[in-house]
C-alpha cells in the first residue's frame, strides 16, 4: 500500500508579490488561492487549499492570495525540508530588504505602505488527504512543532500592523547587486548580513516598539553597516565621514542652524556637516541603550529626522557605488 504524499510547505501569507522573484535557491511566487494546483502535486491540492483557509484577514475571512516559497530546480518545488528553512528565512529577509528599499513615504497620504512584518514566513508539515497540520514555531535554542491539530482547530490571524500595506515594487537591481556581492565575497556582504536582523526589527512596526525605539534600532543597523574600528561617537562619525569624503561641501561653520558641541566648538567648525549628524545619531542610540542624553552634547536632529537623513545617505551612497 502506497503511503500518502507528505512534506513541508512555506507561505508568506501576509503579502502577495507583484511578480515571481528568485532569491538565492528559492522562488517567491504570488499565489491566488484558486491557482494552488499550478504549484503543488495533484494529490496535495485539496490539502493545501484547506491549509490556506487557516490564514484569515481582519474580518475573519480566509485570504484570497499570498506568496508561496518554492525551491529552485526541484521536482517537488513546494516541498521544503526542515533543514532548508533557515536558508528560506534568510532569503525572505533579503527579499524584505529589496522591497522596503522601494518604500515611498512622501508620495501622498494614500501611497502603499510596507513593513517587515509583511514578509514573515509560516511553515508547516502537511500530508495529502489529512485534515491535520503541524505548524512549526522558531524559539530560542531550537523550535516547537505542534502535531495533532486539525485545520478547524487553528487560525493564523493577519497581524494588525499589516493592515493597509501593499508591496507594489521589488527592487530587482538591488537583489542582483546583492547576489553579485555574495558571489565575489565583497566586504559589504558581511556588513549587510550583520545589520539586517536589526534593520528588519526596526521596520516591523510591532506594537511593542514605539517610533523612537525603531529609529534607534535603525541607528544600530546603520552603525553595523559602517563597521567602525572602534565603538564610540567619534569613531563612528569618523568612519562615516571617510565614506563620504568626496561630498564634503558644507561644514558646520557654513550651516546656520546646526550647533556644534559647546565644549568642542572650535574643533568641530571645520567638520563636514554629515560627520556631526552621524555623531549625534550615535549619541541618540547610546542614550537609548545606556543612561539617557548627555547635556554637554547638542541635539540638532529629532528621531524622525535622523531616520529620513539616514535613508537619503544610504540611497545616495548606493547610487554612487553603483556607478
Domain end point (choices 162, 193, 228): 162
Spatial contact of 219 and 281, defined as CB atoms under 8 Å apart: yes
- What does the angle CA 120 – CA 122 – CA 123 come to, to the nearest 5 degrees? 145
Strand 26-32 versus strand 65-71 pairing type: antiparallel
Q: In terms of domains, do 31 and 152 share one? A: yes
Q: Classify residue 63 by its DSSP letter.
A: P
Q: In terms of domains, do 81 and 155 share one? A: yes
- Quick check: is 257 in a domain? yes
Strand 132-139 versus strand 122-127 pairing type: antiparallel
Model pTM score: 0.84
Q: In terms of domains, do 132 and 22 share one? A: yes
How far apart are the C-alpha atoms of 42 and 58, rounded to whole Å?
31
Cell reading at 45: 491540492
- Quick check: is 174 in a domain? no
Domain end point (choices 162, 194, 227): 162
Q: Which pLDDT tens digit goes with each residue over 223-242? A: 888 888 777 888 888 888 88
Q: Classify residue 105 by its DSSP letter.
A: S
Residue of 196, 185, 281 whose CA lies nearest to 240: 281
- Quick check: is 172 in a domain? no
Report CA Rg, the chain.
23
- Quick check: is 307 in a domain? yes
How far apart are the C-alpha atoms of 223 and 220, rounded to whole Å?
5
- pLDDT value, residue 271: 93
- Quick check: is 203 in a domain? no
DSSP string, 37-76: GGTS-GGGHHHHHHHHTTEE-TTSPBPSEEEEEEETT-TT
Cell reading at 16: 502577495
Spatial contact of 203 and 100, defined as CB atoms under 8 Å apart: yes
Q: How many DSSP H helices and E strands does the chain contain?
A: 9, 10
Q: In terms of domains, do 219 and 141 share one? A: no
Residues 6+ positions from 61 with CB-CB distance below 8 Å: none
Query: Coil, helix or strand for 180?
Result: helix
Residue of 190, 179, 69 whose CA lies nearest to 121: 69
- pLDDT value, residue 321: 43
Residues 6+ positions from 312 with CB-CB distance below 8 Å: none
- Quick check: is 275 in a domain? yes
Q: How many CB atoms lie within 10 A of CB 73?
A: 8
Query: Coil, helix or strand for 112?
Result: coil
- What does the angle CA 306 – CA 309 – CA 313 come to, to the nearest 5 degrees? 135
Domain that holds residue 249: 210-321
Q: In terms of domains, do 232 and 109 share one? A: no
How far apart are the C-alpha atoms of 252 and 250, rounded to whole Å?
7
Q: In terms of domains, do 15 and 119 share one? A: yes
Q: Where are the extended beta strands (E) located within 232-272?
A: none
Burial 74-93 (b: 16+ CB within 10 A, else e): eeebbbbeeebbeebeebbb
Q: In the chain, which stretches have pLDDT less than 50?
A: 1-2, 318-323
- pLDDT value, residue 237: 87
Work out how many domains the chain is built from and give that number.
Answer: 2
Q: In terms of domains, do 130 and 234 share one? A: no
Amino acid at each position: 500500500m502506497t503511503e500518502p504524499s507528505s512534506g513541508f510547505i512555506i507561505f508568506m501569507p501576509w503579502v502577495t508579490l507583484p511578480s515571481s522573484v528568485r532569491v538565492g535557491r528559492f522562488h517567491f511566487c504570488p499565489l491566488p488561492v484558486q491557482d494552488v494546483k499550478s504549484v503543488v502535486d495533484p494529490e496535495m491540492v485539496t490539502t493545501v487549499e484547506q491549509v490556506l483557509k487557516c490564514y484569515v484577514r481582519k474580518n475573519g475571512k480566509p485570504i484570497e492570495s499570498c506568496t508561496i516559497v518554492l525551491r529552485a530546480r526541484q521536482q517537488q518545488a513546494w516541498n521544503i525540508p526542515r533543514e532548508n528553512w533557515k536558508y528560506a528565512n534568510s532569503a525572505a529577509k533579503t527579499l524584505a530588504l529589496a522591497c522596503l528599499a522601494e518604500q515611498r513615504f512622501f508620495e501622498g497620504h494614500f501611497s502603499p505602505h510596507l513593513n517587515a512584518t509583511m514578509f514573515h514566513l509560516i511553515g508547516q508539515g502537511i500530508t495529502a488527504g489529512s485534515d491535520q497540520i503541524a505548524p512549526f514555531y522558531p524559539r530560542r535554542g531550537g523550535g516547537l512543532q505542534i502535531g495533532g491539530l486539525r485545520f478547524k482547530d487553528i487560525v493564523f490571524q493577519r497581524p494588525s500592523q499589516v493592515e493597509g500595506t501593499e508591496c507594489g515594487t521589488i527592487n530587482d537591481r538591488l537583489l542582483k547587486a546583492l547576489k553579485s556581492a555574495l558571489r565575489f565575497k565583497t566586504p559589504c556582504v558581511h556588513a549587510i548580513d550583520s545589520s539586517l536582523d536589526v534593520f528588519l526589527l526596526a521596520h516591523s512596526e510591532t506594537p511593542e516598539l514605539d517610533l523612537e525605539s525603531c529609529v534607534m534600532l535603525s541607528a544600530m543597523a546603520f552603525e553595523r553597516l559602517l563597521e567602525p574600528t572602534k565603538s564610540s561617537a567619534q569613531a563612528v562619525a569618523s568612519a562615516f565621514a571617510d565614506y563620504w569624503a568626496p561630498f564634503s561641501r558644507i561644514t558646520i561653520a557654513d550651516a546656520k542652524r546646526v550647533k556644534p558641541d559647546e565644549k568642542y566648538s572650535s574643533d568641530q567648525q571645520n567638520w563636514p556637516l554629515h560627520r556631526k549628524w552621524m555623531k549625534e545619531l550615535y549619541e541618540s542610540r547610546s542614550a537609548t541603550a545606556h543612561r539617557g542624553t548627555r547635556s554637554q552634547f547638542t541635539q540638532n536632529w529629532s528621531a524622525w529626522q535622523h531616520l529620513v537623513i539616514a535613508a537619503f545617505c544610504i540611497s545616495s551612497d548606493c547610487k554612487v557605488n553603483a556607478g
